[in-house]
Amino acid sequence: MQLHFKLILLAQPDKKNIVIFASGSGSNAQRLLEHFEHHPGIRVAALFSNNPNAYALKRAETYQVPALLFNRDTFYNSDKVLEQVKSFNPDLIVLAGFLWLVPAYLLQAFPNKIINIHPALLPKYGGKGMHGQHVHAAVLAAGEPESGITIHSIDEEYDKGEFILQKRCPVLPTDTPEDLAARVLQLEHKYLPLVVERLLSEQEHPKNLR
């Protein structure tokens, strides 16, 4: 009986690993931590941050997920972060409110495996400095009738790369940037875990083999 049990365990494939990069509050990271906490095939393996005050670090610790901090010099001028990320064997790296440009060495080490979530409908309202309330203030200032989210793969430039998913929401005439941010964040929290799950299951069963 015991032997039978062991064989079943050995037959289970190891889980897919998500590595999160986050610079701030980490509410999107929290959604990933929640969604995959008891998932049979996918786990959040680690969370990396450039910000010692990022609440995202605490969220990871609450879920007993390793939380790693790095500084600018280590990130851009050494291979320490690369080695640490590699040690978690990531199948997908998710930038969830990560504010620094990802260096080329990470892109090369994980081709097509790094995605970002942006709180607007790219290609508008993206690029350097377009984060947090700056994005929503710009959308309101332009009088846009709608905003939304873009989940996309990343390349060497801020907020570029192939779109994976866009979802829209209305912009109301009475909106403050905070109102709009809250509406957009609801979309982020709903769709980010679903997209991550879909991408990882497509890795398992590549579309062209179906």
Task: List interacting residues with ligand GRF (CB under 6 A).
Answer: 22, 24-29, 96-97, 117-119, 131, 185, 188
Q: How far apart are CA 161 and CA 153, in angstroms?
A: 5
Alpha carbon distance 150, 86 (integer Å): 27
Task: Specify the residue, 41 or 166, whose C-beta has the smaller distance to ligand GRF.
Answer: 166
CB of 192 to ligand GRF, least distance (A): 9
Catalytically active residues are: 118
State which residue, 113 or 131, has the beta carbon closest to ligand GRF.
Answer: 131
Nearer to ligand GRF, 61 or 79 (CB): 61
Closest distance of CB 122 from ligand GRF, Å? 11
Which of 27/166 has CB closer to ligand GRF? 27
Report the nearest approach of ligand GRF to the CB of residue 144 (Å): 16
Quick one: how far is CA 105 from the chain centroid?
18
Shortest CB 97 distance to ligand GRF, Å: 3
Among 17, 16, 36, CA closest to 28: 36
